Amino acid sequence: MKSYLSIIFIAFVLAGCGQPGEGPASGQTDISSAETADEFVARANAELEELGRELGAAGWVRATYITEDTAVLQSRARERYAKWHGDMVQQALVYDGQDLAPETQRALDLLKLGTSLPTPAEPSKRRELTQIATSLSGMYGAGKYCGSDGDCMSGTELEGLMQTSRDYDELLEAWTGWRTIAPPMRDKYARYVELANEGANELGYGDLGEMWRAGFDMSPAEFEAETGRLWGQVKPLYDELHCHVRARLGEVYGEDKVPQDSPIPAHLLGNMWAQGWGSLFDLLEPYPGVSDLDVDSTLKTKDYSPQEMVRSAENFYVSLGMPRLPDTFWERSQFSKPADREVVCHASAWGLDGGNDLRIKMCINQTYDELRVIYHELGHNYYQGAYKEQPPLFQGGAHGGFHEAIGDTVVLSMTPGYLEEVGLISSAEQGEQAVINRQMQMALDSIAFLPFGKLIDEWRWAVFSGEVSPDDYNKDWWDMRLQYQGIAPPVERTEAHFDPGAKYHVPANVSYTRYFLARILQFQFQRALCETAGHDGDLHSCSVFGNKEAGAKFQAMLEAGQSAPWQETLEKLTGTREMDATAIIDYFAPLMAYLQEQNEGRTCGW
């Protein structure tokens, strides 16, 4: 996961993986007293189509050429978009209270929510905020840690070390070292919060967090309650997983370092942010060697190029009846890290020029984890390509979680049977032990991620509302990570640090709740698609690879974009208007039974 973005997120553009654009300050057009709401929406769509080209190009160049010059270009492009957006929102207020067609009213509502970073109307403040936003994302992208030996490591290199090392002290140095990039962001971030809240106030919202929560076709309070309800459905499974992982880490590192009645030290979970624990699978494999899904070896033995790995993912989508990616995708994407310049390696998918110019941006390595990320990212690209015929204001996911869930759903179909069929493993044994092994591997990523996915924005909501002041940024960050994840920093952290800034999505201003929702929706989507495909058996054994009927139903949902409330779009695919995490519980039933058996006699909780 990643999913992973170096761009300003605009709700009606790439649902989190590319970016819309800005262009000429066309918002200066005066609204005519004779202009109807329908005419205004048509004008907004036409102008937005043009604006998208410039901001998309500026964002791409900034992400793939990190220099002072590209920072200026992106800041100015964002500034022009911000002015256009602010002007158009003010003009749209003329139509408040009018009896409008549903699609017109929806377009106006989405226009008002058309940025994740509303800027103040005052030009100097607007420019200041866009410059801060560009600076923060650039600081993250160029971040390095230089050890006492003088060797410097990028974030990607440090992430790789965190995944592979089992040396307590080495992990501690990498963990603390990466976080040295964040303190210089702290004052900038506090000012960013002030200015962004001012921009949200001018659009009629109490703060930026309230504005973000308003983008889910329900009130901000209802949405906050909804995320809490979904977390409650899956928390029992997470608690069992946490208990088992802590016990195993205690065996590896000693209970003096991993006490069995305390939170898990954050640097021991195989990930820089303890957001996914999949790298610990070698320590936690329930039945070692049983149906080993050693895709890494195949990728290396057959020497898959980055492009060949992407072709593998493309072939899956094509098997569902979807089109091949355009030639420009292969010509313009970034598949590998260039040797001659700084780039943002965080994986992202881009639907530039209104979805007519699809691209992926990654620094691909020959690993199964990277392959799954590719399958995920192409889900964004296929969504972007599917809804490109919608008006620009409707070009986006039904809600942000939908956009992330498309590729995640496809990843669920990467079953052992599928991997064997396409030559990525040699055997697809499906006995009970093999199932539990596979589910453990999956849960270490998807289930371990859920509380982290929820808390990132919950922390920011508290920051934006003023409930958490700049004086307590780090304290409340770690309080929340303890509450939800049951982890703690391995060394003392104070307000001299700014650990939230060491997570890409915070300095890059990318809302995170959609990743949490995606983890819920992917299993709900998969259950519906498997029913459509006529799958007979346990949900975890289903792959819809090659099933055109399931693909047609999937494609119909993608083509709708955000033209209707997400509840309607969800109902068309799943038969229900409510997000539902019970599919996760169904899917992982074998693992839950195993974990409960393993945890008998242990002290769980923290």
Distance CA 388, CA 391 (A): 8
Q: Which of 242, 346, 535, 540 is catalytic?
A: 346
Instruction: Residue 456: name the closest of 518, 420, 504, 415 by CA.
Output: 504
What's the per-residue H, E or C state across 138-154? HHHHCCEEECCCCCEEE
User: What are the beta bridge partners of residue 358?
Assistant: 351
Q: Does 382 qualify as catalytic in the annotation?
A: no
Instruction: Residue 79: name the closest of 133, 32, 140 by CA.
Output: 133
Chain centroid to Cα 492, Å, comes to 29
Q: Compute φ and ψ for 453, nearest 5 degrees.
A: -60, -30
Q: Which of 380, 399, 535, 540 is catalytic?
A: 380
Q: Does 47 qualify as catalytic in the annotation?
A: no
- How many Cα atoms occupy the beta-carbon half-sphere of 279 within 13 Å? 20
Distance CA 333, CA 369 (A): 20
Instruction: Residue 396: name the closest of 109, 44, 17 by CA.
Output: 17
Supply 181's token pair: 């990039």
Q: Does 488 qualify as catalytic in the annotation?
A: no
Q: Which of 515, 540, 583, 594 is catalytic?
A: 515
* Contact predicate 523/412, CB 8 Å: yes
Supply 479's token pair: 């309080």
Q: Does 242 qualify as catalytic in the annotation?
A: no
Calculate the CA dihedral of residues 295, 301, 307, 313 and round it to 10 degrees: -20
Looking up tokens 């934006």 gives 464
Exposure string of 582-601, with b = 16+ CB inside 10 Å and e = fewer, is ebbeebbebbbebbeeebee
Q: Which of 44, 404, 540, 550 is catalytic?
A: 404
Q: Which of 242, 497, 505, 540 is catalytic?
A: 505
Q: Which of 85, 376, 399, 540 is catalytic?
A: 376
Q: Which of 377, 387, 458, 535 is catalytic?
A: 377
Q: How far apart are the first and last CA of the chain?
A: 27
Exposed/middle/buried for 579, CB within 10 Å: 0-12, 13-18, 19+?
Answer: buried
Distance CA 549, CA 558 (A): 14
DSSP 252-283: HH-TTTS-TTSPEEGGGSSSTTSS--GGGHHH
Q: Which of 347, 434, 502, 533 is catalytic?
A: 347
Q: Does 399 qualify as catalytic in the annotation?
A: no
Instruction: Residue 295: name the closest of 285, 307, 304, 283 by CA.
Output: 304
For the annotated catalytic residues, the residue numbers are 346-347, 376-377, 380, 404, 505, 515
